[in-house]
Amino acid sequence: MQNAMRLHFRQHQPPDYTIRAKTGWALEEQVGWYVGYLERDENVYFFAANIDIQDQTDLPKRKEVVRRCFKELGLL
């Protein structure tokens, strides 16, 4: 079961790290999220991002915010 989940949630896997995550969008509340974890150098970093969605152009921002944070931390 765990391996199936790991394959299902894999979103990005260059040679030096793997991000496994899931996006979502609560239409009624207009809230989008991106939750998951990054695997790098035998370490695991969990994350959860929650943003207000004004329209569909905001949807990619869920992932952008997380990637910017990981870059600032030197993990990407």
Question: What is the residue-level pLDDT of the chain in tens, covering all 76 positions?
Answer: 445 445 455 566 678 898 999 999 998 889 999 999 999 999 999 999 999 999 989 999 999 999 999 999 999 9
Structural domain range at position 36: 2-72
**Domains identified in the chain, total number:** 1
Q: Residue 18's CB: how many other CB atoms inside 10 A?
A: 17
CB-based contacts of 24: which residues, under 8 Å, 6+ apart? 32, 33, 34, 35
pTM, to two decimals: 0.78
CA separation for the pair 4, 36 (Å, rounded):
15
pLDDT the model gives residue 27: 84
**DSSP symbol at 40:** E
Report pLDDT for 7: 45
Instruction: Give pLDDT, residue 71.
Output: 96
